[in-house]
Amino acid sequence: MSIGLLLLPFAALALFLTARRFPIGAETLGLVAGFGLVAMGIGLLNLGNHPCPSRPFLFGPGQVGAMECGGGNPMAWLLGGLAGLSFAVGITLWLKGHAGARTGS
């Protein structure tokens, strides 16, 4: 995490310079859609995970002292992936609609 925070400004600058130099096309939208599909896949693979409670957990009367928890919340992966995929598909459809309006077809 600490090295990532140090490299974040350089990554942001590289992204900005690259975005200005190259136009956004189908390849870029495909990359966003691919990231969305991968994130959704990670979420689907982790659907059985239940994050551990942040507060101490006490067993009730008659409960056996065993509890399974661990892993991240899969809904964050699913929703993030769905957002990325929806964004890419929506922009693609919007661009195709505007291209058709310009050519008159």
pLDDT at 86: 95
pLDDT at 2: 62
Best CA proximity match to 57, nearest among 69, 46, 48, 49: 69
* DSSP-derived 3-state class of residue 98: helix
pLDDT at 56: 77
pTM of the model: 0.62
pLDDT at 60: 74
pLDDT at 89: 92
pLDDT at 79: 94
CB 81, CB 44: distance < 8 Å: no
pLDDT, averaged in runs of 10, over the chain (105 residues): 75 83 78 91 87 76 70 87 93 82 60
Residue 77 Cα distances to 13, 37, 72, angstroms: 26, 10, 9
